Structure 1
Amino acid sequence: MIARELISSVPALHPSDTGAKALRLMNEYHLTQLPMVVDSKYLALVEEDDIMDIEDLDVPLESMEYGGSRPAVMEYAHLFEALKLFYDFKLSALPVVTKESEYLGIITKDNLVTAFAAFNAVKEPGGIVAFEVEPRDFALSEIARIAESNDVTLLSVNTLSNPATGKMEVMLKTNRQELQGLLATFERFNYVIKYVFAEEPEEELLKKNYDLLMNYIGM
């Protein structure tokens, strides 16, 4: 997934626009930044806080002084590059430009979240398993083989290094809700399970409901 595929329909600002109009658009689209564009060129990223400092909101934005960085992402940049810029610059909106610095549109934070949800199969039914391993012991081929041996498909795999322990946390999104067999195999291979989000096997759920019924009858 590349940057140009995430562009939203939010309008850009122009130097002749007033501070009042800029604030209205930011409020309408739930953003704290909007790009200013001149002759299809990205000029500046206008901040809500800077506009609030203006004494007269009816004066055009061209009367403001703009300095500092102008964050933008190239149109064919990967989704991860956009995420890095959002994080580095604490953005709510990220301009997308061509090699010739032509402005194409913006990526909003909501667009980015939606893209990552799709990228990580968030909407797909299935359980989640997380475990810790030493970085030197992380082998995706082995993890995939264990999943395959239990007739489980991995829809997404994410890793996170824990600076406090030096270990790597691995989170798997699977296509199955019943994961008892998979968990047993992971534990047999000495993987330390941290947490699991999955449905209980049907027979265990029926037994639990039966026990609750018996307890109720015995009251």
Structure 2
Amino acid sequence: MIARELISSVPALHPSDTGTKALRLMSEYHLTQLPMVADNKYLALVAEDDILDMDNPEATLESMENTGTRPAIMEYAHFYEALKLFHDFKLFVLPIVSREGTYLGIITKDSLLDALAGFNAVKEPGGVLAFEVDPRDYALSEIARIAESNDVTLLSVNTITIPSTGKLEVILKTNRQELQSLIATFERFNYNIKYVFSEEPEEELLKKNYDLLMNYISM
């Protein structure tokens, strides 16, 4: 997924806008940052705090002191790069520009979060399990083979380096709710299972709630 696919329909500010109008737009769209644009060129990222620091909120934005920060992302950049910029600059929105420098729109934190959720199959039903391995022992082909041998499809695979040990934490999102056989196979191959989250099938959840209700009534 690339940056231009995440553009949100939020209006930009203009140098002739007043601080009051900027605050109104930010409130309307529930944002604390908006880009300032003139002649389709991205000029600056205006923050709510910048406006509140103005001596006169009815003054135009062009009279506001420039903060010097102008984060942006190219339209064909991968959304991982957008995620890095959001983190590095503590952003709530990220302007998108073309190769020619034309302003195209913004990515909001909410749209980025939705993309990240989709990319990691968060919305798909299924269980999650994680284990730790030494980096030299990490082999995605073997992990996929073990999952396949248990009739489990891996919807997403993520790795995180644990600073204290240098090991990799491997997080698997699967298409299966029941993971006991998969866990047993990983343990047989000496994988150290760290945690498991498995959703209960709806019928089992209903039965559990029914049993709790019956117990309450019989008290």
TM-score w.r.t. the length of structure 1 is: 0.91
Q: Which amino acid aligns with 1:133?
A: V
> CA 1:199/1:90 → structure 2, altered by over 3 Å: closer, same or farther?
closer
Q: Secondary structure at the match of 2:44?
A: strand
> CA 1:123/1:71 → structure 2, altered by over 3 Å: closer, same or farther?
same
Q: Secondary structure at the match of 1:80?
A: helix
Q: Secondary structure at the match of 2:69?
A: coil
Q: Deviations over 1:20-45 (max 9, x none)?
A: 11111112222121100000000111
Q: Which amino acid aligns with 1:81?
A: E
How far the C-alpha of 1:69 sits from its partner, in A, is: 2.5
- Structure 1 residue 19 and structure 2 residue 19: aligned? yes
Q: Deviations over 1:121-178 (max 9, x none)?
A: 1111100011111111111000000000000000000110010111110100000001
- Structure 1 residue 167 and structure 2 residue 167: aligned? yes
Correspondence for 1:83: 83
State the distance in 2 between where 1:94 and 1:199 align. Answer: 35
State the distance in 1 between where 2:186 and 2:168 align. Answer: 15
- Structure 1 residue 54 and structure 2 residue 54: aligned? yes
Correspondence for 2:72: 72
Q: Which amino acid aligns with 1:155?
A: L
State the distance in 2 between where 1:103 and 1:112 align. Answer: 18
State the distance in 1 between where 2:135 and 2:92 align. Answer: 33
Correspondence for 1:101: 101
Percent identical pairs in the alignment equals 78
Q: Which amino acid aligns with 2:76?
A: Y
How far the C-alpha of 1:200 sits from its partner, in A, is: 6.3
Q: Which amino acid aligns with 2:161?
A: S
How far the C-alpha of 1:48 sits from its partner, in A, is: 1.0
- Structure 1 residue 92 and structure 2 residue 104: aligned? no
Q: How does 1:173-188 map to 2 (within 5 A)?
A: 173-188=173-188
How far the C-alpha of 1:59 sits from its partner, in A, is: 1.1
Gaps of 5+ in 2: none
How far the C-alpha of 1:201 sits from its partner, in A, is: 8.9
Q: Runs of 4+ in structure 1 displaced over 4 angstroms?
A: 199-202
Q: Which amino acid aligns with 1:57?
A: P
Query: What RMSD over aligned residues (CA atoms) do the two structures have, in Å?
Result: 2.3
TM-score w.r.t. the length of structure 2 is: 0.91
State the distance in 2 between where 1:24 and 1:200 align. Answer: 45
State the distance in 1 between where 2:5 and 2:142 align. Answer: 34
